[in-house]
Amino acid sequence: MDHAAQLCSAHASASCCIAIYVLRMIALPLTAQDTLDETLPDVIHMTGIYLMILLTSLSIVTVSIHYYAAMTAALFLSFALMQRLYLPAATVLKRWAGDTASHVFVHVDESLHGMDVIRAFGAVEDFLQVGARCIVHNTH
């Protein structure tokens, strides 16, 4: 049983359990992004090695058969075109994802730090609804 499940069973508070599971759901993409950031240098290195192997093979074949030269040129041109189209769009989408996700994290952080005050004023449902709206806004 992990720490979050122990907290839920120890306190037996529905709002606490919901907040912990919402926090887990929000943190899951970040864990995947951290894994991606850690493996990216290795992927780039291996891509470079495979690219050198590919270029060596293509140069040998190109010397022998001229049709492969035309196909190779077409593939490289299509690759360059895709990179020109994809990279600017990916950069903008990544920035938008960061901008919208920050609102969700701020709300979850404030809710967790002010859990006693929220319970004291009986505003648990209000905070759950605001959190749900933040998540829906982030995913749309």
Of 62 and 44, more confident: 44
Report the percent of the chain where pLDDT is more than 90.
Answer: 11
pTM (2 d.p.): 0.31
User: What's the 3-state SS for the chain?
Assistant: CCHHHHHHHHHCCHHHHHHHHHHHHHHHHHHHHHHHHHHHHHHHHHHHHHHHHHHHHHHHHHHHCHHHHHHHHHHHHHHHHHHHHHHHHHHHHHHHHHHHHHHHHHHHHHHHHCHHHHHHCCCHHHHHHHHHHHHHHHHC
Give the model confidence (pLDDT) of 90-99 as tens digits. 888 777 777 7
